Amino acid sequence: MSPRDYDLEPFWMPFTANRQFKAAPRILVSAKDMHYTSEDGRKILDSTAGLWCVNAGHCREPIVRAIRTQAETLDFAPTFQMGHPGAFRLAQTIAHLAPGDLDHVFFANSGSEAVDSALKIALAYHRVRGEASRTRLIGRERAYHGVGFGGISVGGMTPNRKAFGTLLPGVDHLPHTHNLEKMANSRGQPDWGAHLADELERIVALHDASNIAAVIVEPVQGSTGVVVPPKGYLQRLRAICDKHGILLIFDEVITGFGRLGKAFAAEYFDVMPDMITFAKGVTSATVPMGGVIVRKPVYDAFMSGPDGIELFHGYTYSGHPLAAAAGEATLALYHEERLFANAASLAPYFEDAVHSLVGLPNVVDVRNIGLMAGIELAPRTGKPGARGYEALVRCFEAGLLTRVTGDTLACSPPLILTTSHIDQIFGTIASVIKEIA
């Protein structure tokens, strides 16, 4: 290992215990396909696609080439009153991938911005149709929708909210659907829990539908530790939203672009939301990009409203040329290598492998869907998160990158993986779980 030519101290790392990390840093210096290389020259198998995002695998040549060429051709084009071909082409490809009449794309630069954009579109949509009283937003407990004020307001992860004041007003939360007694070790969607969607009726009865703009949910909750929707739950949410004229937003920042073996979870679950937020996998994380896909009636409502700027919202980097080029090359690669189909065909093997951990010491739940898995460990008395963190560190020492939320390990590998990667992922996790007390 060569000596570091940089200081660890000045960088304030996000969502990281900075003092703990800097005392024993884990530094990644390069990556290729399924692996990272750490600063001490070890190959680390990536079981999390970075942060649920490197769906095509690392440093893939066609994507790298497209970014390089774009940087040499058109580095930036203004987004207001100007356009460039890549943004239009990418929007068209995404619209083709999305189900039904989800056919207009608004670009942002991250999942957080995508969520804020979708919430604002929902409010403005009702207003442009003459229903300006529909301002309330409904999220869900344990939800993660990024870190903007919109996202943390509808989000439901307490530590992400508690330090930041009153957040957006007029937000309610559905109950989360995770229940260890009723659904531990379910394979795929749990049988129990569809009735929890009926809580939406209670919220509507309290506020009246005429005041409610939208419901936003992750079809599968990722960041809280892979919480899979009960059978029939999303369908019920859709039906209740339809009954009351409420928009349904699926936050597919994690589930979009093949994670469940389809382009979007909406297709996998056969439930049509009014909007989909996306990010991460759209560029396989090579260049930051996010966005919102809206159904035709939503777009049309704006386009038949007053003349002029239809939506006073946008970012300097909406549809940035490098991101658009990366997105086009990424979606082409998904298509050419049939990566969504690969994810779908490996899902049963992945499921069997993760469920082989059931019964190991301290494993209280194993859950999975598509190429997402959560392994929940019992917390140590008085030290929530300590066992999970130790597992993460030991996996890394053993050559495996996993992710941990509290005491739940999460796996969401690149879609290019093979069965031998799956064996290595869950073999390593099994050994680590057996080692730690």
Ligand X SMILES: Cc1ncc(COP(=O)(O)O)c(C=O)c1O
DSSP at 159: H
DSSP letter string, 371-431: TEEEEEEPPBTTBTTHHHHHHHHHHHHTTEE-EEETTEEEE---TT--HHHHHHHHHHHHH
User: 204 or 253, CB closer to ligand X?
Assistant: 253
User: 112 or 428, CB closer to ligand X?
Assistant: 112
Task: Give the total of residues touching ligand X (CB under 6 A).
Answer: 15
Minimum CB separation from ligand X for residue 335, in Å?
Answer: 24
Query: Site residues for ligand X, window 330-359 (CB under 6 A)?
Result: none
Q: Which of 112, 26, 42, 8 is nearest to 403 (CA)?
A: 26
Please state the length of the chain: 437
- Applying CB under 6 A, the span of 3-11, 25-33, 140-148, 360-368 interacting with ligand X comes to 140-148
Minimum CB separation from ligand X for residue 53, in Å?
Answer: 8
User: 58 or 145, CB closer to ligand X?
Assistant: 145
Structure tokens, 197: 């969607």
For position 218 contacting ligand X by CB under 6 A, the verdict is yes
Binds ligand X (CB under 6 A): choice among 112, 286, 318, 368: 112
Binds ligand X (CB under 6 A): choice among 139, 150, 222, 281: 222
Query: Site residues for ligand X, window 264-283 (CB under 6 A)?
Result: 279
User: 42 or 120, CB closer to ligand X?
Assistant: 120
- Applying CB under 6 A, the span of 1-9, 70-78, 109-117, 207-215 interacting with ligand X comes to 109-117
Residue type, 431: S
Binds ligand X (CB under 6 A): choice among 110, 153, 408, 412: 110
Residues 6+ apart with CB under 8 A from 436: 362, 387, 390, 391, 394
Minimum CB separation from ligand X for residue 117, in Å?
Answer: 11
Minimum CB separation from ligand X for residue 96, in Å?
Answer: 23
Residues 6+ apart with CB under 8 A from 35: 43, 44, 45, 46, 58
Sign of CA dihedral 252, 255, 257, 262: negative
For position 216 contacting ligand X by CB under 6 A, the verdict is no
Q: Which residue is nearest to ligand X (CB)?
A: 111
Structure tokens, 64: 């790298």
Binds ligand X (CB under 6 A): choice among 124, 254, 346, 373: 254
- Applying CB under 6 A, the span of 23-31, 107-115, 196-204, 365-373 interacting with ligand X comes to 107-115
Minimum CB separation from ligand X for residue 115, in Å?
Answer: 5
Minimum CB separation from ligand X for residue 404, in Å?
Answer: 14
Residue entry with tokens 């996000």? 14
3-state secondary structure of 217: strand
Q: Which of 109, 117, 172 is nearest to 298 (CA)?
A: 117
Cα–Cα distance for residue pair 138/365, rounded to 1 Å: 28
Could you give the string, one character per residue 56-95, with x where binding to ligand X holds by CB under 6 A and - elsewhere? ----------------------------------------
Q: Are 277 and 291 in contact (CB under 8 A)?
A: yes
For position 223 contacting ligand X by CB under 6 A, the verdict is yes
For position 107 contacting ligand X by CB under 6 A, the verdict is no
Cα–Cα distance for residue pair 423/350, rounded to 1 Å: 9
For helices 321-336 and 85-97, angle between their N-to-C axes, nearest 10 degrees: 40
Minimum CB separation from ligand X for residue 208, in Å?
Answer: 29
Which residues are near ligand X by CB under 6 A?
A: 110-112, 115, 144-146, 218, 222-223, 251, 253-254, 279, 290
